[in-house]
């Protein structure tokens, strides 16, 4: 039975209930709903709003419901309107009139707001731990490849020589910033809306600071309309998760390239690859491709949340029920991608000889050759032009810069001498860079 009977003379139509119900997806909030209700009941008893004995009975009843859900003894009733009405209804079944006192001084508007904050706060911690583990995998791989030379790219064209640890280190920086964004989001999220009621506060002498402290919040939200209508934390988290997926997708795109026969910079472990139903030679980077594709889901979740919220007048509107499926999907998708990509990277085999061979082509030491002439006193633009002529000569002869004869260097610019070969070796190019 809905919590709002009394005003209505007809039972709710099945079509209305099915369309209105959120329990198929908000049932995952059951732990947070019970924790929030326990804190609320304890506060009601301490403030004398209900009898202390009734508060204790409510708390014990909620704990028994929690244990039964955990064990599987109690299953969710999918005909319930939402997880809040299901738990309150179950409590009333067990405690009678005492259970009906739980909702004193509370609305589902502030109840769902506190549940969602608690849930997402927990999920931020889980995702942050997974990103930290992933950073550890990248760092360990980087430490094993401090001398592995490969081409650095711009425009996906070979540009300058770098080492593989430097390349991986760029992703370490990206994911470290992601941790910072998630921590910032949690900081702004961690204020309690409980006690705001439907929108205008409550008439009981509640202690909002007590419930906020018990639930681990840093304080209470100061404006009651904002307390029940704010979903900035969902938008901000979806944005932060979207950026996480940008970084994962970029790395996965490189894994797809590097594992191809054209690059062959790495080889994925058999346990984290798939085959073809028709081509027996294939070894496909499906995890990387799926992660790259799933980034679009998370971006879509962010767009959906922004679209839901953009036109809503204060305070609560039923549109805001649409926040949950979107933010839950974003959280689930990022968790799933990190679960799959972390061991994929940890087990992949680096092929340093192929990386080194690629670095030997593409004239990626051309800038260093120009810098060599600058050190000899030639203006950079003149040095740039001279080396460009040398590259054209190399292309014509199908050789690398370091394979040109000294008299060919001197024919373009007399400042070249024998030491140019040391200056433009890939190892020298890398070591010279600050």
CATH of 109-357, one of 3.40.50.300, 1.10.8.10, 3.40.1390.10, 1.20.200.10: 1.20.200.10
Average pLDDT, the chain: 95
Q: Is the peptide bond before 395 cis (omega within 30 degrees of 0)?
A: no
Which residues in the chain are classed under CATH 1.20.200.10? 109-357
Q: What is the pLDDT of residues 264-289, one digit of tens each?
A: 999 999 999 999 889 988 899 999 99
d(CA 294, CA 299): 9
Predicted pLDDT of residue 16: 75
d(CA 135, CA 330): 21
10 or 296, which is more confident: 296
d(CA 305, CA 323): 6
Confidence of residue 2 (pLDDT cuts 50, 70, 90): low
Predicted pLDDT of residue 3: 62
Nearest to 93 by CA among 81, 85, 82: 85
For the domain made up of 14-104, the CATH class stated in words is mainly alpha
Predicted pLDDT of residue 338: 98
Asked if pLDDT for residue 295 goes beyond 70, the answer is yes
Q: What is the pLDDT of residues 409-423, one digit of tens each?
A: 999 999 999 999 999
What CATH topology corresponds to 360-432?
Ribonucleotide Reductase Protein R1; domain 1 (1.10.40)
**What percent of the chain is modeled with pLDDT above 70?**
98
Catalytic residue numbers read 155, 276
Predicted pLDDT of residue 60: 98
Instruction: Give Cα 226 distance to the centre of its chain.
Output: 26
Confidence of residue 6 (pLDDT cuts 50, 70, 90): low
Q: Which residues contact 101 (CB under 8 A, 6 or more apart)?
A: 44, 50, 54, 58
d(CA 184, CA 129): 15
Which residues in the chain are classed under CATH 1.10.40.30? 360-432
d(CA 21, CA 64): 25
């Amino acid at each position: 039975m809905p919590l709002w009977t009394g005003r209505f003379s007809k039972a709710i139509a099945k079509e209305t209930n099915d369309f209105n119900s959120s329990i198929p997806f908000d049932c995952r909030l059951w732990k947070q709903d019970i924790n929030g209700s326990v804190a609320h009941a304890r506060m009601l008893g301490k403030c004398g709003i209900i009898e202390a004995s009734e508060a204790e009975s409510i708390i014990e009843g909620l704990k028994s419901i929690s244990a039964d859900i955990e064990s599987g003894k109690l299953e969710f009733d999918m005909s319930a309107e939402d997880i809040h009405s299901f738990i309150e209804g179950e409590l009333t079944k067990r405690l009678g009139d005492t259970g009906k006192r739980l909702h004193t001084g509370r609305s589902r508007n502030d109840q769902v707001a506190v549940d969602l904050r608690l849930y997402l706060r927990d999920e931020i911690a889980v995702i942050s731990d997974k990103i930290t583990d992933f950073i550890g995998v990248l760092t360990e791989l980087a430490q094993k490849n401090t001398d592995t030379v490969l081409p650095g790219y711009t425009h996906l064209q070979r540009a300058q020589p770098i080492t593989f640890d430097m390349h991986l280190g760029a992703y370490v920086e990206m994911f470290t910033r992601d941790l910072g964004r998630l921590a910032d989001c949690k900081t702004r999220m961690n204020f309690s809306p409980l006690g705001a009621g439907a929108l205008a506060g409550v008439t009981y002498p509640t202690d909002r600071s007590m419930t906020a402290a018990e639930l681990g919040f840093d304080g209470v939200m100061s404006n009651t309309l904002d307390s029940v209508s704010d979903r900035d934390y969902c938008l901000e988290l979806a944005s932060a998760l979207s950026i996480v997926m940008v970084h994962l997708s970029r790395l996965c795109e490189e894994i797809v390239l590097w594992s191809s026969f054209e690059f062959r910079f790495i080889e994925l472990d058999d346990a984290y690859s798939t085959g073809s139903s028709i081509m027996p030679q294939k070894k496909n980077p499906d995890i990387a491709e799926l992660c790259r594709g799933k980034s679009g889901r998370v971006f879509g979740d962010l767009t959906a949340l922004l679209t839901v919220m953009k036109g809503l007048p204060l305070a609560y509107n039923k549109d805001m029920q649409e926040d949950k499926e979107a933010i839950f999907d974003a959280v689930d998708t990022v968790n799933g991608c990190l679960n799959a990509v972390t061991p994929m990277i940890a087990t992949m085999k680096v092929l340093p000889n192929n990386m080194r061979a690629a670095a030997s082509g593409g004239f990626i030491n051309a800038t260093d050759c120009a810098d060599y002439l600058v050190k000899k006193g030639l203006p950079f633009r003149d040095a740039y032009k001279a080396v460009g002529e040398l590259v054209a000569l190399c292309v014509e002869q199908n050789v690398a810069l370091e394979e040109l004869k000294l008299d060919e260097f001197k024919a373009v610019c007399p400042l070249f001498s024998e030491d140019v070969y040391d200056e433009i070796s890939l190892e020298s190019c890398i070591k010279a860079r600050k």
